[in-house]
Amino acid sequence: MQSLRVFTRSVKDDEKSSYDLLDLVHQVFLISKNEVKYVANLEIDVPEDIILYCNGVQIAQVFVNILVNAAQAIKSQKRYNMGTIRIVARQTDPNIIIRFEDDGPGIPKENLSKIFEPFFTTKEIGKGTGLGLSISYDIIVNKHNGSINVRSEYGHGCVFTIVLPIVSA
């Protein structure tokens, strides 16, 4: 309940505070657990000492979008074994780098340049709005002065890389 309360509380767009990245990742996993637990093992490689100065609700929203998309992509393969989703973070002055890696089906080359566009989705009608990654892009790039990109080879999974500047309160 605490994770959900933190995630859903009303926060102004420009309200920022210090957040323990590992704690934020654990909260996001608790919120997303039902989407992930039956399709993928989650591996978390995030040092305990990384502190983000950010809008925690917005960053959590980005993490949920990427994590749920990865789980849904793995689930779409109808495979017999569990997939793997890894969250890896490192602090390298002047940035914090967070990677979400999955062993799902990957993204076809022709779709890679469109995934951050509003309303673009590869999901069947009624299953996705095509807004999750567009909103995520806006949060990372426009509201946190960072970058987000994707690397994928169709059939070999996907890696989303988020780079956020180290900022202190």
Q: Does the pLDDT of residue 72 top 80, yes or no?
A: yes
Query: Which pLDDT score, from 0 to 100, does residue 132 have?
Result: 81
**Domain CATH for 60:** 3.30.565.10
Tokens of residue 13, six digits: 């767009």
pLDDT in tens, 5-61: 554 554 566 789 999 999 999 999 999 999 999 999 999 999 999 999 999 999 999
Query: Which pLDDT score, from 0 to 100, does residue 38 have?
Result: 94
State the pairing for strand pair 83-92/147-152.
Answer: unpaired
Q: Which domain holds residue 145?
A: 2-165
Look at residues 77, 97, 101, 84 and name the one whose alpha carbon lies nearest to residue 140. Answer: 97
Number of structural domains in the chain: 1
Q: Residues, the chain, total?
A: 169
pLDDT in tens, 114-129: 888 877 666 665 565 5
pLDDT in tens, 87-116: 999 999 899 999 999 999 998 898 888 888
Strand partners, 99: 88, 161
Query: Which pLDDT score, from 0 to 100, does residue 112 have?
Result: 86
The band of 167, judged by pLDDT with boundaries at 50, 70 and 90, is: confident
pTM of full prediction above 0.85: yes
